[in-house]
Amino acid sequence: MKQIKPISQGIHAVESTTESWAIEPECFRKGDMLPHMHSQYIWVFLRDEEDTPMFFSVCFTPTGMSGCTLHRLGKTPYEKQRRLADPSIYNHRVSQECVYEARQGDPTWMSSDEITYEIGTEKPDFRVRLNSRGIYIIGADMDVYVKYLPFGAFFGEGCPFGAPYLAHFAEACGTYQGRPVIGMGGTEKIMGYPDTAAEYQSQIVLDLAGRRPDGRCESAIIYLYSQGRAMAFYHLEGEAPVTAGEVEFQGRFEPLPYTEDGTLLLMEAVCRFGGKELHYQAKYGFRGGGDPLDEKEGFSNTGGSWYEGSAFYLHREEFATTELHMITSKVLETFEWKEMG
């Protein structure tokens, strides 16, 4: 098992190890304190024969699983997603059969890890397995393997999020209801030290991953907060990762048409940091990934496409989403940004 130096402060590019996915990962130790897993999310765009992708998401904690859903995204940014799976199939709350636990070896035979991690239910048979190389999702009509890209991002102490946070992007392939699917997505793990906790606050998030026309994979995650606070990560296969605590942000926002509470959509964005320039364009609509749908004031999502640099290109496959969390026109006034022309 590959070891990495313990880190707890700042923004770091990290490689996945078995230890990364432990309930108390030693690699993110802070002095004599180990971070404890609070929750973990997995989200994947899966493409089949239809024009708009499916969106799979699941959330789990050390003692339960919830919000496990599968939707077809809206055909435009203004449309809601359409549920594809009966939520009763997926929505498993805390139970004795649903505990996140270590396993000896790798039952998937997809890694040589001595220890892997698993959470799932017996009825119906639905499991999520994590190893150093990726995530295996099996059951409830799905058989999908999600393989990590080379680097993820760890946001430690001193970052605006307020608690240790690990994000890793990935490529996906497998089947849904026996039909082949491919796509991209990733996972995010929220942790806490005994003296810290995540601060749920107004934020703008861009999650981006793709395989370029030349075959190289790239990924980025950008968090924007009020008063110009930010944290960002970008990596292109074959190059050194880039991290930053400052982001120059330009955006174009529009009201979410089926609400009357000031909730906005992020339709276009340009983010500049560490010598990189990332462009995003919204194409699809959805609002939250859980069940029931998240329809709180100021919360919205879009799916779309993206590229890095000044010359446009289409990815062979990509994952690109935005999340506005507690963002209304009034709240947006507290952010540092420029309107796109």
Distance (Å, rounded) from C-alpha 23 to C-alpha 62?
7
- Per-residue confidence (pLDDT) for residue 144, from 0 to 100: 96
Distance (Å, rounded) from C-alpha 311 to C-alpha 214?
14
Q: Which residues of the chain have pLDDT under 50?
A: 1-5, 91-96, 291-292
Q: Are 265 and 254 spatial neighbours (Cβ–Cβ below 8 Å)? A: yes
Give the pLDDT confidence of 132-185 residue by residue, as tens digits.
999 999 987 899 999 999 999 999 877 888 788 999 999 999 999 999 999 999
Distance (Å, rounded) from C-alpha 169 to C-alpha 19?
17
DSSP-derived 3-state class of residue 265: strand
- Per-residue confidence (pLDDT) for residue 72, from 0 to 100: 92
- Per-residue confidence (pLDDT) for residue 33, from 0 to 100: 84
How far CA 248 is from CA of 89, 222, 232, 273, 340, in Å, comes to 43, 11, 11, 7, 12
Half-sphere exposure of 259 (CA within 13 A, CB side): 20
How far CA 297 is from CA of 150, 167, 256, 264, 330, in Å, comes to 36, 26, 11, 9, 12
Bridge partners of residue 230, in order along the sequence: 224
- Per-residue confidence (pLDDT) for residue 63, from 0 to 100: 86
pTM for the whole structure: 0.93
Domain extents in the chain: 11-339
Give the pLDDT confidence of 78-101 residue by residue, as tens digits.
998 888 866 555 544 434 357 899
- Per-residue confidence (pLDDT) for residue 157, from 0 to 100: 76
